[in-house]
Amino acid sequence: VVFIVGLLIVNRQLSFMQTEDKGFSPNHVVYIRNMAIFDKPDVFKAVKEKILSMDGVRAVSVANQIPTGPKAPAQLFTINGSEGYLNAVAVDIDYFKTLDIKLAEGRFYNPNFSSDESESILINEAAVKKYSIASPLGKLIKNCNHTYQIVGVIKDFKSDGFETAVLPTAYTLSNRCGPPKTSIIIKISDGRVAGVLKSLRAEWPKINKLDGEDFRYDFMDTLYGQLFKKQEQLKFVFSCLSVVTILIALFGLYAYAKLMIEARFKEIAIRKILGAENFELLSILNSSFLWLVLISNVVAAPLVYIAANRWLQGFAYKQDISLSPFLIAALVTVGLTIETVCIQAFKILKAQPVKALKYE
C-alpha cells in the first residue's frame, strides 16, 4: 500500500511538472557557452546579424543569466522609496522573444525607443508582489547609482524548475554592476536544428574570433529536463519497489490463502451439501482476507500522507494530495486479494464435498 500510493503521488507530481505551463519555452533553444563579453549592444549586433542570417534561425539574444543557469548574487534596489533585493539580469532586446516569455502589462524593450538601453527596466510579477508596487508602470527604481523607469512587467516563469519559487527579478539592457553578458541563446525553427548547428560550427571562428574553434553548446530543454532527474529517479525506485513488494505480498497471500482454505475444507463441504451457492462460499472465504487488507489500507494511509506531504514541501509548485491515490491503492490491493483467494477457493469448490466428510 505504501509503495503503491507513493508511486502514484510521485508520478502525479512529475506529470504536473512536465505538463504545467513553465511560463517560457526552452524547446528548440540552443545555449552557446561563449567566452566573449557582449555588454555593449553594438558589440553584439554584428554577431547577432551573422547568426540571424542563417536559414532556420528565428531569434538570437545574449544575457548574463539564462534559465537553469547559475544565478548572480541579488542586487540592492531602491523600490518605492525603500531598499530591497532583486535578482538582476542583463539581457539583449530579443531575450524575451527568444524564450517566448509573456508580458503581464506594459511593453517589452523596443528598438525604436533609444532611451530603453539606459533608462528603462522590466520587472517580473514576483517583484511587484514582494514589494507591493501598485500600478508599477512608470514608477522609478534605482540600482547601482542609476535610476530606471519601469516600462513593463513580465509574467513569472519557472526558470529553475518547480522546487524553487520564482525570484523577484529585474531585467535591463545595460549592465552596470552585474556579471558580463556572455550566454548566447538561439531559437531555431522546428526541423532545422541540425542544419543550423552545422552552420554555426563551421562559421563560429568567423562569428566569434575569441572562441575560435571552441564551439560548445547545450539544448536548453535538455538542461531544463535535468531539473526533473531526481524525481524521475525516485519514480523509478518506487516503481521497482512496488513491483517487488506486490509480488512478495502475492506469494505470501497465495500460500496463506491455500493454508486457510484447506483448513476450512470440511466447513465448505458441509455448507455446500446444505445448499450454499459458490458465490456465497466465495464471499465467506474472501471476507476474512478483505478485512485484513482494508485494515492495512487504513493504517498505512495516514503514514503515507505524512511522508508524501513532507516530500511535497520541497516544491514551490506542487499538486495537492488527493484521495484518488489511496482509493486506487485500496482497489488494487482488494482486487489482487480477491483474485488470489478465488484461485485457491475454486480448487476446493470443484472437489466433491463427500470426500471431505467420508472420514467423519
Same structural domain, 236 and 129: no
Residue type at 190 in one-letter notation: D
Residue 282 covered by a domain: yes
Low-confidence residues in the chain, pLDDT < 70: 261-279, 281-282, 285, 347-360
Handedness of CA 226, 229, 230, 231 (dihedral sign): positive
Secondary structure of 274-308 in HEC code, one letter for each residue: CCCCHHHHHHHHHHHHHHHHHHHHHHHHHHHHHHH
Where does a domain end: 187, 213, 239? 213
Count of Cβ atoms closer than 10 Å to residue 272 Cβ: 19
DSSP-assigned letters across all residues of 189-246: -TT-HHHHHHHHHHHHHHH-TTTTT---EEEHHHHHHGGGHHHHHHHHHHHHHHHHHH
- Interatomic CA distance for residues 48 and 207, integer angstroms: 9
Same structural domain, 78 and 200: yes
Q: pLDDT tens digits for 183-220?
A: 999 999 999 999 999 999 999 988 888 777 788 899 99
Asked whether 169 and 86 are in contact (CB, 8 A), the reply is: yes
| Residue span of the structural domain in which 316 resides | 2-15+228-357
Residue 339 covered by a domain: yes
Q: pLDDT tens digits for 47-92?
A: 999 999 999 999 999 999 999 887 878 899 998 788 999 999 999 9
Asked whether 24 and 101 are in contact (CB, 8 A), the reply is: yes
Asked whether 180 and 72 are in contact (CB, 8 A), the reply is: no
Residue 53 covered by a domain: yes
Same structural domain, 61 and 132: yes
Where does a domain end: 156, 187, 213? 213
Helices (H), the chain: 2-19, 41-52, 95-98, 116-119, 125-130, 193-207, 220-225, 229-263, 265-273, 278-312, 324-350, 353-357
At 296, give phi and psi (nearest 5°): -65, -35
Same structural domain, 47 and 122: yes
Same structural domain, 184 and 236: no
Same structural domain, 277 and 138: no
Same structural domain, 239 and 191: no
pLDDT of residue 308: 92
pLDDT of residue 267: 64
Same structural domain, 101 and 150: yes
Cα 72 to chain center, whole Å? 23
Residue 237 covered by a domain: yes
Residue 24 covered by a domain: no
Residue 283 covered by a domain: yes
pTM for this entry: 0.80
**Segment 221-224 long-range contacts (CB within 8 Å, at least 24 positions apart):** 221/26, 221/27, 221/28, 221/29, 223/26, 223/31, 223/67, 223/68, 223/69, 224/22, 224/26, 224/67, 224/68, 224/161
Same structural domain, 237 and 202: no
At 235, give phi and psi (nearest 5°): -60, -40
Cα 125 to chain center, whole Å? 21
Same structural domain, 208 and 242: no
Residue 208 covered by a domain: yes
pLDDT of residue 359: 47
Same structural domain, 246 and 300: yes
Q: Which three cell numbers stand for residue 312?
A: 511535497
Can you list the positions of beta strands (E) in 91-166? 103-106, 120-124, 140-143, 146-154
If you average pLDDT over every residue of the chain, what do you get? Answer: 86
Q: pLDDT tens digits for 285-296?
A: 677 778 888 888
pLDDT of residue 246: 79
Q: How many domains does the chain have?
A: 2
Same structural domain, 134 and 190: yes
Residue 48 covered by a domain: yes
Distances (CA, A) of 36 to 85, 208, 214, 257, 347: 28, 8, 12, 72, 78
Where does a domain end: 189, 213, 237? 213
